[in-house]
Copies of this chain bind each other. A is one copy, B any other.
Amino acid sequence: MLDRPPIKVGILGATGTVGQRFITLLSVHPWFAIHVLGASSRSAGKPYATAVNWKQDMIVEDCKPEAFKECGVIFSGLDADVAGDIETNTDQRAHFVRLNWPVFSNAKNYRRDPHVPLIVPLVNLEHLSMVSQQQALHSPPLKKGFIVTNANCSTTAHVIPLSALERKFGPIDTLMVTTMQAISGAGYPGVPSLDIIDNVVPYISGEEEKIEWETRKILGGIADVEPEQLVGEKMLQEFDLHAHTPLKISASCNRVPVTVGHMINVSVKFSRSPPPSPQQVCEALRAYRPGAQVHGTGAGVSVGRVRQCPVLDIKFVVLADNVSIGAATSSIINAEFAVLKGVVG
Contacts and interface: CB of A to CB of B under 8 A. Distances in A.
A296 interface: no
Contacts of A39: none
Given A189-B192, A196-B197, A202-B317, A178 B252 contact: yes
A199 interface: yes
Contact of A200 (B175, B193, B258, B312): B258
Interface string A180-221: 100110001111111111111011000000001000000000
Contacts of A203: 305, 317
Contacts of A304: 202
A180 B194 contact: no
Nearest to A175: B311
Interface of A: 174-176, 178, 180, 183-184, 188-200, 202-203, 212, 248-250, 252, 254, 256-259, 261, 263, 265, 267, 304-305, 309-312, 315, 317, 319
A205 to B, nearest CB: 12
A152 B192 CA distance: 21
B180 A190 contact: no
Contacts of A267: 176, 250, 252
A216 B186 CA distance: 39
A126 to B, nearest CB: 27
* Nearest 4 CB-CB pairings of A with B: A189-B192, A178-B178, A250-B311, A198-B198
Contacts of A258: 197-200, 257
Contact of A183 (B190, B193, B309): B193
A210 to B, nearest CB: 13
Given A176-B176, A258-B257, A310-B249, A263 B194 contact: no
B198 A310 contact: no
Contacts of A259: 194, 197-198
